[in-house]
Structure 1
Amino acid sequence: MRFLFLLFIIVPIIEITLLIQVGQAIGAWYTVGLVLLSAFIGVNMLRYQSVSTLARAQQRANQGEIPGREMVEGIVLAVGGALLVTPGFVTDVIGFCCLIPYTRQAFANAMISRFTVVAMNSRQASFESTFGGPGFDPSSPEGFESKEQSQQEGAHYADSPFRKDKPQSHGGDVIDGEYQRKE
């Protein structure tokens, strides 16, 4: 979260500084024209690349596959398009990198690997909180209770239906044997 806050403060400062320096070097109107030209080229590239990505997604969907990679590339394309419309040169460079197929696929691979790590950690935490068993304490920072806590609070595991030494009561008369339905 702190990273995003710094990003939203640092990037505009860099953009303004760079726009002022380019404006002093080539002139203010040429700088404005360059920013508008990069936005126009970027929007046209975005249109072409998004149609291409959509066609690949439809092809994979028609084959019965989930177009996950294409969906992630679509997110990268959307971010790239937003950055290209934003006035500035740094955002334009990052936006063009999101539109070039090689770098877009690299960004998509990085996002997919990050999503995979987050999902695996979430799945593990969910599994441990559900099936942690004796010694697992989801309220503690480490996730496991101390040996003293485990001995003191061991009674709450006495009612577990998964204990092997606990006799199973079914709440009524149960007769062992075979069952045969007569019709």
Structure 2
Amino acid sequence: MMLGRLIVLFITVSLLDLLLLIALGRYIGYLKTVLIVIGIGIIGAIIAEREGLYTFRRVRDEFYKGNLPTDELMDGVFVLAGGVMLITPGLITDVIGILCLIPKSRKYIKRFTLTYLKYLLNSRIFKIKLRR
């Protein structure tokens, strides 16, 4: 069931990205659209590298202090997800990817994700699936 939802989500986002790129290409020109996608990718790669190294240092520092770096590891997951989103061509995925890379917006995404995960853990549906 969850796999089916993910497949539908990936197909829907990909189609919306494609339609948006075609519409933007018709409106401002295809060369400008391609340059925008490439430019966002380059900027995103720079941000992803910087944030990835910074997150890695924070994880390492927490381990050296003897702490479990849960918050830092979650940051690492979102930085990785943001980098993957930027590799995928499309404006929607680029925006989501950049939001995952920017620390301020990542904070809100992490809060939403934790709230959703807590909801799933407390829901009856998840408990029933675990008992099988």
TM-score, normalised via structure 2 length? 0.83
Residues 25-59 of structure 1: per-residue CA shift (max 9 Å, x gap) = 11111111111111111011000011111111122
Structure of higher RCO (CA pairs closer than 8 Å, 6+ residues apart): 2
1:22 paired residue number: 24
Runs of 5+ consecutive residues of structure 1 not aligned to the other structure: 126-137, 140-183
Decide which structure has greater helix share: 2
CA RMSD of superposed structures (Å): 2.5
1:43 paired residue number: 45
Distance 1:40 1:10 in 2: 25
Residues 37-95 of structure 1: per-residue CA shift (max 9 Å, x gap) = 11111011000011111111122111110001111111111111011111110001100
User: Which protein is bigger by CA-based radius of gyration?
Assistant: 1
Distance 1:101 1:25 in 2: 33
State how 1:52-63 maps to structure 2 within 5 Å.
Answer: 52-63=54-65
Distance 1:20 1:118 in 2: 37
Distance 1:103 1:53 in 2: 15
Distance 1:121 1:15 in 2: 33
Is the CA contact (8 Å cut-off) linking 1:80 and 1:98 kept in structure 2? yes
Higher mean Cα deviation, 4-13 or 67-76? 4-13
**How many residues in Structure 1 have an aligned counterpart in Structure 2?**
127
Structure 1: which 4+ aligned runs deviate by more than 6 Å? none
Residues 72-121 of structure 1: per-residue CA shift (max 9 Å, x gap) = 11111111101111111000110010011011122223333444455567
TM-score, normalised via structure 1 length? 0.62
Is the CA contact (8 Å cut-off) linking 1:42 and 1:84 kept in structure 2? yes
